[in-house]
Amino acid sequence: MTFKARQIASAVRAGRLSAREVVEGCLEQLHAGTDDPLRAITRVLAERALAEADAVDVLVAEGRDPGPLAGVPYGVKDLLDVAGLPTTAGSRIHAGASPARADAEAVRRMQAAGAVLVATLNMDEFAYGFATINALHGTTRNPHDPARLAGGSSGGSAAVVAAGLMPLALGSDTNGSVRVPASLTGLYGLKPSHGDLPLAGVFPFAESFDDVGPFARDAGDMATVWEVLSQRSAPQDQAPLRIARLGGRFRENADPDQLAVIDAVASGAPLVELPDVAVARSAAFVITAYEGGRLHEADLARDAMAFDPQTRDRLLAGALLPDELYRRAQDYRAQYRARIEAVMADWDVLLAPATPCAAPTIADPRILVDGEMVAARANLGLHTQPISFTGLPSLAVPLYRPGRLPLGLQLVGAPLGEPALLRFAVELESQGVIGVTAPRHAVGVEV
For the residues of 249-297, what is the DSSP string, one character each? Answer: GGGSS--HHHHHHHHHHTTTPPEE--TTHHHHHHHHHHHHHHHHHHHTH
The catalytically annotated residue of 77, 154, 172, 193 is 77
Alpha-carbon torsion 104, 79, 204, 100, what sign? positive
Q: Which residues of 369-399 are buried (b: 16+ CB within 10 A; e: fewer)?
A: beeeeebbbbbbbbbbbbbbbbbbbbbbbbb
pLDDT tens-place string over residues 33-62: 567 899 999 999 999 999 999 999 999 999
Beta pairing class for 133-134 and 116-121: unpaired
337-365: average pLDDT:
96
User: Three-state SS string across 303-355, please?
Assistant: HHHHCCHHHHHHHHHHHCCCHHHHHHHHHHHHHHHHHHHHHHCCCCEEEEECC
Report the C-alpha gap between 329 and 322 in whole angstroms: 11
Report the C-alpha gap between 214 and 76 in whole angstroms: 9
Structural domain total, the chain: 1
Report the C-alpha gap between 110 and 66 in whole angstroms: 11
pLDDT tens-place string over residues 406-440: 999 999 999 999 999 999 999 999 999 999 999 97
Q: Using alpha carbons only, what angle is made at residue 69 by residues 66 and 230, rounded to the nearest 5 degrees?
A: 105
pLDDT tens-place string over residues 196-219: 999 999 999 999 999 999 999 999
Active site residue 191: no
Q: Chain centroid to CA 411: how far?
A: 14
Active site residue 77: yes
* 444 band by pLDDT with thresholds 50, 70 and 90: very low
Contact at 8 Å (CB) between 9 and 114?
Answer: yes
**Range of 54's domain?**
1-447
The catalytically annotated residue of 4, 18, 91, 153 is 153
The contacts of residue 402 (CB under 8 Å, 6+ apart) are 437
Contact at 8 Å (CB) between 201 and 80?
Answer: yes
* pLDDT (0 to 100) of residue 442: 52
CATH no. for residue 440? 3.90.1300.10
240-251: average pLDDT:
96
Least confident range of 88-92, 150-154, 341-345, 371-375: 341-345
The catalytically annotated residue of 177, 183, 193, 388 is 177
Active site residue 177: yes
* pLDDT (0 to 100) of residue 445: 35
pLDDT tens-place string over residues 305-327: 999 998 999 999 999 999 999 99
Cis ω before 18 (30° cut-off from 0):
no
pTM of the model: 0.96
In terms of Cβ atoms closer than 10 Å to its own Cβ (0-12, 13-18, 19+), residue 447 is middle
* 398 band by pLDDT with thresholds 50, 70 and 90: very high
Sheet holding 211-216, edge to edge: 41-44, 116-121, 73-77, 168-173, 211-216, 188-191, 394-398, 408-413, 349-353, 243-246, 271-272
